[in-house]
Amino acid sequence: MIQASNNRGLMMSWAFDEGSGATTVESVSQLKDDIQYVFNQAEFTEPRDPQWRQGVIGSGLLFDGYSTYISHPVKNGESNDQLESGAALSIGVWVAPRSYEWGSEGKLAAIVNHHNKDRNEGYLLGMYRHGSWSFQVGLEGGDWKEVWSPDGNELPKNEWSYVNAVFDGNQGEMKLYLNGREIASTALPRGSRIAQATDTELLIGKNNHSSLLVERFSLHMFSGILDELNIYSRVLSLEEVVGSYHDVLDAYGGALPQLSYDEIKLDRTPLLADRHRPQYHVSPPAHWMNEPHAPIYFAGQYHLFYQHNPLGPFFHQIHWGHWVSKDLVHWRDLPVALAPEKDQLAPDGIWSGSAAYDADGLPVLFFTAGNDKASPNQSVAIARSTYSLDKEPDLVHWVKHPEPLIVQKEGMGAFGDFRDPYVWKEDNQWFALVGSGIEGEGGAALAFVSEDMLNWTYKGPFFKADIQQYPFLGPIWELPVFLPLGSNQQGENKHLLLVSPVGQGADVEVFYWIGQFDKQNLSFIPDQEEPQLIDVGDFHFTGPSGMVDPKTGRKIVFTIAQGDRTPDLEYKSGWAHNGGLPISVYLRDDGRLGIEPIQEIQSLRGAKLLSLNAKSLAEANDLLQDVRGDMLEIRLDIEPGTAKQFGIKIRRTPEGEEETLLFYDKNECMFAVDRTKTTLHPGEKCSGVQGGKLDLLDEYLKLHIYLDRSMVEAYANGLKSLTTRVYPSRKDALGLEIWGDGELLVKSMDIWEMKSIW
| pLDDT above 60 (res 84) | no
pLDDT tier for residue 740 given thresholds of 50, 70 and 90: very high
Q: Does pLDDT of 80 surpass 70?
A: no
Mean pLDDT of 476-496: 97
Domain containing residue 311: CATH number = 2.115.10.20
CA distances from 297 to 282, 384, 394 (A): 17, 15, 11
pLDDT per residue as tens digits for the range 173-185: 999 999 999 999 9
pTM for the structure as a whole: 0.97
716: left (phi over 0), alpha (psi -120 to 50) or beta: beta
- What pLDDT is stored for residue 376 in this prediction? 95
Residue 642 has pLDDT above 50, yes or no: yes
CA–CA separation, 610 and 624 (whole Å): 8
- Return the pLDDT at 75: 64
561 contacts 723 by C-beta, under 8 angstroms: yes
Per-chain mean pLDDT for the chain: 96
H-run or E-run covering 246: helix 238-250
Q: What are phi and psi of 104, to 5 degrees?
A: -55, 140
pLDDT at residue 493 greater than cutoff 50: yes
181 and 286 in one domain? no
**578-579 and 555-561 beta bridge pairing:** antiparallel
Q: What was the pLDDT predicted at 330?
A: 98
Residue 527 sits at the vertex; the CA angle it makes with 524 and 532, to the nearest 5 degrees, is 95
Long-range contacts from 686-689, C-beta under 8 angstroms, 24+ separation:
686/564, 686/724, 686/725, 686/726, 686/727
- For residues 742 and 682, membership in a common domain is answered with yes
Closest CA to 757 of 278, 55, 116, 115: 278
Percent of the chain with pLDDT over 70: 98
Nearest to 102 by CA among 284, 315, 266: 315
pLDDT band at 5 (very low <50, low <70, confident <90, very high): low
Q: What local confidence, expressed as pLDDT, does residue 468 receive?
A: 93
Calculated CA dihedral for residues 565, 714, 733, 669, nearest 10 degrees: 100
User: Which residues face 639 on adjacent strands?
Assistant: 745
**Strand pairing report for 701-708 and 88-97:** unpaired
Residue 658 lies in a domain: yes
Q: What is the DSSP letter of 196?
A: P
Which pLDDT band, with edges at 50, 70 and 90, does 82 fall under? very low
Going by their DSSP bridges, the two strands 689-693 and 493-502 should be labelled as unpaired
The b/e string for 425-440 (b: 16+ C-beta within 10 A; e otherwise) is beeeebbbbbbbbbee
Is the same domain home to 161 and 257?
yes
In a shared domain, residues 497 and 613: no
Q: What is the largest CA-CA distance in the chain?
A: 93
DSSP-derived 3-state class of residue 487: strand
Terminal-to-terminal C-alpha distance of the chain: 38
Let me know if 706 is exposed, middle or buried by CB neighbors in 10 A (0-12, 13-18, 19+): buried
Query: pLDDT digit string (tens) for 510-560?
Result: 999 999 999 999 999 999 999 999 999 999 999 999 999 999 999 999 999
d(CA 670, CA 706): 20
Residue 589 in any domain: the answer is no
Return d(Cα 649, Cα 732) in angstroms, integer.
14
% the chain with pLDDT above 90: 96
Reported for 261-267, long-range contacts at CB under 8 A and 24+ positions apart, including other chains, are 261/158, 261/335, 263/53, 263/54, 263/225, 264/53, 264/62, 264/96, 264/98, 264/158, 264/224, 264/225, 265/98, 265/333, 265/335, 266/98, 266/310, 266/333, 267/51
Report the 10 Å Cβ neighbour count for 721: 26
Q: Cα(83)–Cα(123) distance, rounded to whole angstroms?
A: 12
588 falls within a domain: no
Residues 330 and 200 in one domain: no
Give the confidence band of 602 by pLDDT, cuts at 50, 70, 90.
Answer: very high
Whole-angstrom CA distances from 313 to 204, 214, 223, 674 are 21, 12, 13, 28
Q: Which of 580, 614, 634 is the last residue of a domain?
A: 580
Task: Give, for 262, the enclosing helix (H) or strand (E).
Answer: helix 261-264
Find residue 432's DSSP bridge partners: 423, 448
Q: Would residue 416 count as lying in a domain?
A: yes
The pLDDT of residue 164 is above 80: yes
Whether residues 183 and 310 fall in one domain: no
Question: In this structure, is residue 272 part of a structural domain?
Answer: no
Q: How many domains does the chain have?
A: 3
Q: The sheet that has 605-616: what strands, in order across it? A: 605-616, 745-754, 631-639, 701-708, 711-716, 720-725
pLDDT digits (tens, 9 = 90+) for 579-601: 999 999 999 999 999 999 999 99
pLDDT in tens, 665-677: 999 999 999 999 9
Secondary structure string (H, E, C) spanning 539-571:
CCEEEEEEEECCCCCCEEEEEEECCCCCHHHHH
Distances (CA, A) of 691 to 19, 190, 268, 538, 579: 51, 72, 33, 7, 21
Q: How confident is the model at residue 74 (pLDDT cuts 50, 70, 90)?
A: confident
259, 292: one domain = no
- 115 and 150: one domain? yes
Task: Tell me what pLDDT residue 698 has.
Answer: 87
Is 270 a member of any domain? no
For 534, how many CA atoms within 13 A lie in the half-sphere containing its CB? 33
* Domain contains 2: no
Residue 77 has pLDDT above 60, yes or no: no
Structural domain of 42: 13-264
Distance CA 232, CA 88 (A): 8
Query: What CA–CA distances, in Å, run from 23 to 17, 161, 202, 455?
Result: 11, 24, 16, 57
CB neighbour burial string for 385-408, b if at least 16 within 10 angstroms, e if fewer: bebeeeeeeebbebebeeebbbbb
Q: Are residues 495 and 535 in the same domain?
A: yes
Residue 184 is predicted with a pLDDT of: 98
State which H helix or E strand residue 226 sits in. strand 223-232
- CATH number of the domain within which 666 lies: 2.60.120.560
Q: What is the pLDDT of residue 275?
A: 98
Instruction: State the pLDDT confidence band at 78, using cuts at 50, 70 and 90.
Output: very low
Residue 742 lies inside a defined structural domain of this protein: yes
Does residue 611 share a domain with residue 570?
A: no
- Whether 624 and 491 map to the same domain: the answer is no
Tell whether the model's pLDDT for residue 125 goes beyond 90: yes
Are residues 305 and 174 part of one domain?
no
Buried b (16+ CB within 10 A) or exposed e, 53-78: bbbbbebbbbbbbbbbbbbbebeeee
Q: Reduce the secondary structure of 437-483 to three states and give it as a string.
A: EECCCEEEEEEEEECCCCCEEEEEEEEECCCCCCHHHCCEEEEEEEE
SS3 661: strand
Q: pLDDT at position 708, please?
A: 98
CATH of the domain at 94: 2.60.120.200
